[in-house]
Amino acid sequence: MTLQELLEHAHLDALGHLDEREQAAFEAAFVVAPPAIKAQIRSEQARWAPMDHLLPEVEPSPELRDRVLEAVTAAMIAQNAGGDLSLRPARRVAAAWRAASIGLMTAVIVLGSAFVYVFETEIQNEKTARIGQNTDVAGSMFRSDFRDVLLSSATRSFYLESDNKSFKGSGSLWTNPTWKQARIFLELPQSKAGEEYRVVAITGGASKDLDKFVSDGVLRPRELPASALAAGTKIAVIAIRSGEVTDIHASDILLSVTI
């Protein structure tokens, strides 16, 4: 039986108007119905059962019975068309729809895999381009002194470190007795509004500004006067308000190295 037929028979069963054949068919269909449908049928019967004592104790004519069934059927159809009936008979899925769903799922998997591949490729290309850019920066910075960097034992490198583990910055300093300008490479967080970075030389408690600049967050090379890099000099990087002059404290130093 369909859900509509079950409900029709449920109403007649509540009123005791089913014959033996209809009663047997109704009970057989009710036994195999899902729990939710059984609950709905019992609810409908409970709604009709209390009205039984109001009906006249007469045997309805076949014509009356047919009219009642037609009226119930029409009401069920109208209710179903209005979208109020929450439980509906299950329907088999057409083979074409099933094939289309499988095809769509396959396409989603393929496109998703392709997207992941393209994304990872773009990241790798970006890393490769960044490495190439850094190499070009280093080459252009050293220019004619690049041979000294590779082959001269007099070339020295110093790596700036931070006592603050949360500071995301790094740098290196390169010197050679034959150079008029030392090279410093700094990769620092982007400067805050109204602030600038300064490279200072600290000797015997006194400090001297060697360079100042605003960082865009990218590795940049800079030059420092070699004459300011005597042995024992501490080279430090600090962040300070633009144009401000202040004493330097240990807590102000972001990166430093002693030559």
Q: Is 133 among the domain residues?
A: yes
Same domain, yes or no, for 130 and 224? no
Give 134 or 39, the one with higher predicted confidence.
39
Residue 8 burial (CB count, 10 A): 21
Can you give the pLDDT at residue 85? 44
Q: Are the beta carbons of 166 and 254 closer than 8 angstroms?
A: no
The whole domain housing 36 covers 3-81
Contacts of 16 (CB under 8 A, 6+ apart): 52
pLDDT digit string (tens) for 125-177?
665 555 555 555 555 556 666 677 777 888 999 999 998 888 889 999 999 99
Can you give the pLDDT at residue 237? 94
Same domain, yes or no, for 173 and 139? no
Same domain, yes or no, for 169 and 247? yes
Domain count, the chain: 3
Whether the model clears a pTM of 0.85, i.e. scores above it, the answer is no
Give 51 or 152, the one with higher predicted confidence.
152
Same domain, yes or no, for 56 and 113? no
Same domain, yes or no, for 59 and 116? no
Same domain, yes or no, for 138 and 156? no
Can you give the pLDDT at residue 196? 92
Same domain, yes or no, for 249 and 164? yes
Which of 143, 170, 185 delimits the end of a domain? Answer: 143
Same domain, yes or no, for 108 and 49? no
- Evaluated on CA atoms 53, 54, 57, 63, the torsion sign reads negative
Residue 180: in which H helix or E strand, if any? none
**Band of the pLDDT at 255, cuts 50, 70, 90?**
very high
**Band of the pLDDT at 245, cuts 50, 70, 90?**
confident
Same domain, yes or no, for 219 and 159? yes
Segment 76-104 mean pLDDT: 60
Same domain, yes or no, for 70 and 164? no
Can you give the pLDDT at residue 143? 61
Residue 48 scores a pLDDT above 60: yes
Same domain, yes or no, for 21 and 68? yes
Residue 34 scores a pLDDT above 90: no
Which of 126, 143, 160 delimits the end of a domain? Answer: 143
Same domain, yes or no, for 54 and 106? no
Residue 256 scores a pLDDT above 90: yes
Can you give the pLDDT at residue 172? 92
Q: Give me the CATH number covering residue 182.
A: 2.60.40
Least confident window among 73-77, 210-214, 249-253: 73-77
Nearest one of 242, 239, 155 to 200, comparing CA atoms: 239
Q: Is 87 among the domain residues?
A: no
Q: Is 86 among the domain residues?
A: no
Q: Is 129 among the domain residues?
A: yes
Residue 115 burial (CB count, 10 A): 10
Residue 84 scores a pLDDT above 60: no
Can you give the pLDDT at residue 57? 62
Least confident window among 80-84, 111-115, 214-218, 252-256: 80-84
Residue 41, exposed/middle/buried by CB under 10 A (0-12, 13-18, 19+)? buried
